[in-house]
Amino acid sequence: MASDTLTSSEYIKHHLTHLTYGRFPDGHWGFGGNAEEIEAMGFMAIHVDSMFWSISLGIFFLWLFRTVAKNATAGVPGNLQNFVEISVEFVDDNIRSVFGEQNNPLIAPLSLTILIWVFLMNLMDLVPVDWIPLLSGLMGIHYMKVVSTADPNVTMGMSISIFFLVLYYSIRVKGPIGFLKEISLHPIPIKAAIPLNMVLESVTLLSKPLSQGLRLFGNMYAGELIFILIALLPFYLQWTLALPWAIFHILIISLQAFVFMILTIVYITQAHKTEDH
Amino acid sequence: MTINLTIFGQAISFAVFVLFCMKFVWPLITEVMRERQKVIAEGLEKANQAERQLEQSSDAAAEELQQAKLKGADLIAQADKRAKQIIEEAKEKAIEEGERLKAAAQAVIDQDVNRAREELRAQVGILAIKGAGRILETTVDIKVHQEMLDKMAAEL
C-alpha cells in the first residue's frame, strides 16, 4: 500500500533498504539515515534487521528444539515432540540416503539447523509485507526487511561457511596431497593438463557456495519483490494476487530450505569421497 | 545487492547455532528416538513370544485331551471286559450249582427208589409166605423156609 507521500518506486526502494549500522565516510559509526548514506558505507556496515531476524529465529528454533529434547520421552510423544522427531527423522533419512553411514558427528545437526532455520527465515516472507515495517516505523525504526534469506549476506554467509567446511573435510579425509591431486589431475588425468585442470576444478569448487547461496537469495528476493509489487495494488484487489502467490510461496520456502540442506549434504558427501572416477 | 559485514555476522551465528544444535539438541532427540525404537522392538518381541507360548500351550492342551480320551476309551473297554468276565463267571457258577442241585435231587430220588424197593421186597416175602401158607394149608415155618424166601426176594 503506497502512502500518499511516497511514489511507487520510492515505496519499493524503501522496502528493499536494510536497517544498516556502519561507518560513515567521515569515520564515525551510526545508523544509515537513507539509501545514499548506506551505500557510502561500503563494506564496513552491518544489516541490523537481517541479523536481528536471523538470530531471533535461530534462537527460537534452538529454544523450541531444546525444550522438546529436554522433555522428550521414549513413550508416547506429544504433538510438538512428534513434529521435532519428524524433522529429525526427515533430516536423518536424507543424510542416510546421500551421505551413507559414515561417521560424522557434524553433518546431521548441521543439516537440521539449516533446514529449520532457513525455513523459519523464509517463513517471514509470508507475513504481510507492510505489517512489521509499519510496527517498527511506529517505534521509530524506518527501515526493516524481515526476510533474512532475501539478504545475500545471510545466504552467502551460510554457503561460504559450508564451503570452508567442505574444504576442511576434503583435506582431512584425503590429506593435503590427495586434495591437491584431486583438483590437479581431474577431469583430465595427465600431467600436461594440470594448469587447465586446476582452473576447471577451482571454478567447480567456487561455483558451489556461490550457486548455493545465490539460489536461496534469488528465490526469496524475487518472492519478496512480488509481494511488494502486489502491495502496490489498491487494497481491495491485493488478495486476488497475494493469496495465490502466498499459497505458491509456501511450496517455495519449504523447497528452498530443503534444497539448501540437500546441497550441503551433497557437498560434504563429495568432500568425503576418496576416489571419484 | 551489497556485501558487507553482515556476511561475517551470519557466518558466526550460523557456527554458534550449529554447534549448539550438535551439543544440546541432536543427541538428546536421537537418543530418545533410539530408546523408543528399543521399547517397540522389545514389545514386538514379547508379543511374538506370547504368541509362541499360546501356540505351545494349546498344542499341549490338545495332546492332554487326546490322551484323556484314549484313557477313557481304555477304561471303558476294560470295564466292558470285566463285566463280560463277571457275567461269564456267574453263568458258570449257576450251571455248576444247577448240576450240583440236580445231582443231589438224583441222589435223593435214588435213595427213595432203593428204600421203596427194599420195602417192596420185604412185603413180597411176607406176601409169598402167606400165599404159600394158604396154598399148602400148612404153616410154613419161617425159619425153615427163610433161605428160599431170601432167594426169591433177591430175584425180585
What share of chain B has pLDDT > 70, as a percent?
Answer: 94
Q: Work out the average pLDDT over B142-152.
A: 74
Residues of A in contact with B26 (CB under 8 A): 88, 108-109, 112
Query: So what's the pLDDT on residue A1?
Result: 42
Residue A227's identity, in one-letter code, is: F
Residue contact B29–A61, C-beta within 8 A: no
From the candidates A113, A117, A155, which should be mutated to test the interface with B, based on the most B CB atoms within 10 A? A113
* Range B83-113 burial, b when 16+ CB lie within 10 A, else e: eeeeeeeeeeeeeeeeeeeeeeeeeeeeeee
Task: List residues bridging with A22 in a β-sheet.
Answer: A30, A45
List all residues 6 or more positions away from B98 whose beta carbon is below 8 Å from its beta carbon: none
Give A227's Cβ-side CA count (13 Å radius): 25
Going residue by residue through chain A, which has 277 residues, state the pLDDT in tens, using 9 for 90 and above: 444 567 888 888 888 888 889 888 888 898 888 888 888 888 889 999 999 999 999 999 999 999 999 888 888 888 999 999 999 999 999 999 999 888 889 999 999 999 999 999 999 999 888 888 888 888 888 888 899 999 999 999 999 999 999 999 999 998 898 888 888 887 888 888 888 989 998 999 999 999 999 999 999 999 999 999 998 888 888 889 989 999 999 999 999 999 999 999 999 999 988 765 4
Q: Taking CA atoms, what residue in B is nearest to A55?
A: B13
Q: Does A50 touch chain B (CB under 8 A)?
A: yes
Alpha helix segments (H runs only) across chain B: 6-20, 26-136, 146-155
**Residue A29 counted as domain residue:** yes
Residue contact A69–B4, C-beta within 8 A: no
Query: So what's the pLDDT on residue A157?
Result: 94
Give me Rg for the CA atoms of chain B: 61
Interface of B with A (CB under 8 A): 1-11, 13-15, 17-18, 20-22, 24-26, 28-30, 32-33, 35-36, 38-39
Helix (H, G, I), strand (E, B) or coil at A20: strand
Query: So what's the pLDDT on residue A181?
Result: 86
Residues of A in contact with B41 (CB under 8 A): none
Region label for B13, one of left (φ > 0), alpha (ψ between -120 and 50) or beta (otherwise): alpha
**ipTM (interface predicted TM):** 0.88
Query: So what's the pLDDT on residue A5?
Result: 61
Residues of A in contact with B6 (CB under 8 A): 45-47, 50-51, 151, 153-154, 157
Residue contact A88–B18, C-beta within 8 A: no
Q: Does A37 touch chain B (CB under 8 A)?
A: no
Task: List residues bridging with A47 in a β-sheet.
Answer: A20
Tell me the nearest-neighbour CA distance from B24 into chain A, angstroms: 7
List all residues 6 or more positions away from A53 whose beta carbon is below 8 Å from its beta carbon: A121, A124, A146, A147, A148
Q: What's the domain range around A26? A: 8-272
- φ/ψ of A168, rounded to 5, equals -60, -50
Of B4, B10, B35, the CB nearest to A54: B10
Mean residue pLDDT across chain A: 89
**Residue A277 counted as domain residue:** no
In eight-state DSSP terms, residue A234 is: -
**Residue A37 counted as domain residue:** yes
What pLDDT, in 10s, does the model give residues B66-111? 999 999 999 999 999 999 999 999 999 999 999 999 999 999 999 9
**Residue A63 counted as domain residue:** yes
Tell me the nearest-neighbour CA distance from B13 into chain A, angstroms: 7
What is the residue-wise DSSP string for A91-122? HHHHHHHHTTT---TTHHHHHHHHHHHHHHHH
Query: So what's the pLDDT on residue B138?
Result: 62
**Residue A139 counted as domain residue:** yes
Number of domains in chain A: 1
Q: Does A88 touch chain B (CB under 8 A)?
A: yes
Query: So what's the pLDDT on residue B148?
Result: 75
Q: Does A42 touch chain B (CB under 8 A)?
A: yes
Residues of B in contact with A20 (CB under 8 A): 4
Q: How far apart are CA A34 and CA A31, in angstroms?
A: 9
Q: Is the pLDDT of residue B122 over 60?
A: yes
Grid coordinates given for A133: 515495517
**Residue A3 counted as domain residue:** no
Q: How far apart are CA A69 and CA A81, in angstroms?
A: 8
**Residue A2 counted as domain residue:** no
Q: How far apart are CA A170 and CA A202, in angstroms?
A: 14
Residue contact A88–B21, C-beta within 8 A: no
Give the residue with greater pLDDT, B125 vs A163: A163
Q: How far apart are CA B11 and CA A265, in angstroms?
A: 18
Q: How far is CA A214 from CA A152, A154, A157, A245, B35, in A?
A: 7, 10, 11, 21, 40
Question: Hey, which residues of A are catalytic here?
Answer: 211, 215, 219
Q: Which residue has the cell 531471533?
A: A56
Query: So what's the pLDDT on residue A129?
Result: 85
Are A203 and A186 contacting, i.e. CB atoms less than 8 angstroms apart?
no
**Residue A235 counted as domain residue:** yes
Q: How far apart are CA A18 and CA A56, in angstroms?
A: 17
